[in-house]
Amino acid sequence: MVDREEERERELGRKKLMLRMPAFRDQLRHASGERMEALFLAYERASVHQDRIRSQKHAPAQWKAYYEEVSGEIEESVGRFLSDQK
């Protein structure tokens, strides 16, 4: 049985990546497979943590930088993967 919460998180991650990477929007819309689903899920979770940290007045700067780096790395991985699929 598919975990509904994970499915929801993956779709949110997909949509956020579509906003961040408009050049890949159509490919992201139709992307599937285990690797892409893992990247969508990871992106959603990283962005949720990043948003929480940004909303905290006294959040450590290294945590802000860490989640920005993680999100950027996921975006790069998605871009490389989709470019290889062309």
In whole angstroms, what is the distance from residue 42 CA to residue 10 CA?
8
What pTM was computed for the model?
Answer: 0.91
pLDDT at residue 2 in the model = 61
Structural domain including 41 reads: 4-85
**pLDDT per position as a tens digit, 21-78:** 999 999 999 999 999 999 999 999 999 999 999 899 888 889 999 999 999 999 999 9
For the chain, give percent helix, strand, coil, nearest 5: 85, 0, 15
pLDDT at residue 15 in the model = 98
Domain count, the chain: 1
For the cut 90, the answer to whether the pLDDT of residue 86 exceeds it is no
